[in-house]
Amino acid sequence: MASSVSAEPILEVSGLVKHYPLTQGILFKKQVGAVKAVDGVDFTLHRGETLGIVGESGCGKSTVAKMLVNLEKPTAGEIRYKGEDVTGLSGRALRAVRRNIQMVFQDPYTSLNPRMTVGDIIGEPYEIHPEVAPKGDRRRKVQDLLDVVGLNPEYINRYPHQFSGGQRQRIGIARGLALRPEVIVADEPVSALDVSVQAQVINLLDRLQSEFELSYLFIAHDLSIVRHISDRVGVMYLGRIVEIGRDAEIYDHPTHPYTQALLSAVPVPDPEAREHRERIILAGDVPSPTNIPSGCRFRTRCWKAAQRCELEVPALAVPAQFRLETGPAAHDSACHFAEEKQVVPPEEPPDDHTNGGV
Ligand SMILES: Nc1ncnc2c1ncn2[C@@H]1O[C@H](COP(=O)(O)OP(=O)(O)OP(=O)(O)O)[C@@H](O)[C@H]1O
Ligand SMILES: [Mg+2]
């Protein structure tokens, strides 16, 4: 986790949308709908901060990441980098911004070209940005990067298959650092790794953050992974952020029923705490992003859903109990009932005492 988070925004995302057209017909393609992969996302990343983004598979996390590094063009919305809208940029101006926002990918097994040496993989960004490292300097720069991520600089001529999963992810991180970016978008950087290796890679990212004054957008499936690294956490559901705030706020006082359900699924090491914890099982499946429910998109699975939830889209706003807070620590929730302190699922049928709790 970053020790020096400033209040200065480095990335500001507002109203970000990515809809993929759904077409029918082979010769005469007709649009019959849209996959609403990202459907109105707002957040700010501050300098030196780690913002964790979590949510189930298909909720739009990678699509947000791809738009931030310009691998996908937004359908609508704005991405501001240091105050400048970068969504419409092209040519040299776009290249300059891209240099500063780099991505680390999920799967170190498929994201590294097997036919390239590690030196060529890590140094490839210099082909596009030769101004960062003149040709004669590149080998030394790549060796420095190998050293920085904890790999032996003598491995520079080896191929990806000669490395373990954790080492490969270190190579991916070294490549992400090659252009000395200010922002790293890490899309599930440890999900494909063994649990024993995950902590090592997270510790490395943590160290690099202070060493290079990086700001991170750290994407994960699981709230337990982002907790260790995030200053703030945003929870996504079906293309939108439904709750966002300082990590302690989200973990200790979640106000959105979806966050509460996700937290109830996080493993608790303490057996006593585990016993007293309520496990929330959500009804039904996530609706299709081609057919998003009206009003609150979570209502079809929510135990608090009322008629208002069908009619009104809840704004992502500070619930009353957190209203004293301002700035980066604010805690926003997109639930009509977020003002209530306690949101609990319906009571389970009473235990049959004759069973002695079995
Ligand atoms: N190129 C595309 N064309 C059409 N639909 C797409 C495309 N890319 C993604 N989608 C759809 O958009 C939705 C969001 O996908 P995305 O990959 O962003 O989710 P995710 O949260 O990263 O999921 P995961 O946790 O599985 O990585 C999914 O329903 C996906 O099928
Ligand atoms: Mg993804």
Q: Whose CA is nearest to atom 3 of ligand 1?
A: 20
pLDDT in tens, the chain (358 residues): 555 667 789 999 999 999 999 988 888 888 889 999 999 999 999 999 999 999 999 999 999 999 999 999 999 999 999 999 999 888 888 888 889 999 999 887 788 999 999 999 999 999 989 989 988 899 999 999 999 999 999 999 999 999 999 999 999 999 999 999 999 999 999 998 998 899 999 999 999 999 999 999 999 988 888 888 899 999 999 999 999 999 888 998 899 999 999 998 877 767 776 666 678 888 888 999 999 999 999 999 999 999 999 999 999 988 776 666 555 557 899 999 987 755 455 555 444 444 433 3
**Which numbered ligand comes closest to the C-alpha of 37?**
1
Q: Which helix (H) or strand (E) holds 159?
A: none
- The ligand 1 atom at the shortest distance from the C-alpha of residue 106 is 27
3-state secondary structure 264-308: HCCCCCCHHHHHHCCCCCCCCCCCCCCCCCCCCCCHHHCCCCCHH
Query: In angstroms, rounded to a whole number, what is the distance separating the alpha carbons of residues 36 and 95?
Result: 28
From the CA of 221, how far away is ligand 2's center (Å)?
9
Q: Are strands 232-237 and 240-246 parallel, antiparallel or unpaired?
A: antiparallel
Cβ(173) – ligand 1 distance below 6 Å: no
Q: Which of 17, 19, 20 to mutate to test the pocket of ligand 1 (most atoms within 8 A of CB)?
A: 20
Please work out whether the CB of residue 18 comes within 6 Å of at least one atom of ligand 1: no
Residue with the smallest CA separation from ligand 1 atom 30 is 58
What separation in Å is there between the alpha carbon of 60 and the centre of ligand 1? 6
Picking from 48, 47, 11, 69, the residue whose alpha carbon sits closest to that of residue 206 is 48
How far is residue 110 from each of residues 10, 94, 201, 319, measured CA to CA in Å? 30, 27, 18, 43
291 lines ligand 1 (CB under 6 A): no
Ligand closest to Cα of 56 equals 1
According to DSSP, the residues that pair with 237 across neighbouring strands are 240
Closest ligand 1 atom to 60 CA: 18
Please tell me the distance between residue 276's alpha carbon and the centre of ligand 1 in angstroms: 36
What pLDDT is attached to residue 5? 67
Give 237 Cα–ligand 2 centroid separation in angstroms. 13
In short, whether 58's Cβ falls inside 6 Å of ligand 1 is: yes
In 3D, which of 78, 72, 45 has the Cα closest to residue 185? 45
192 CB near ligand 1 (under 6 Å): no
State the pTM of this model: 0.90
Residue 59 in contact with ligand 1 by CB distance below 6 A? yes
Q: How far apart, in Å, are the Cα atoms of 134 and each of 129, 137, 141?
A: 9, 5, 10
Task: In the chain, count H helices and then E strands.
Answer: 12, 11
Distance 58 CA to ligand 2 centre (A): 7
Output the residue whose Cα is nearest ligand 1's atom 17. Answer: 62
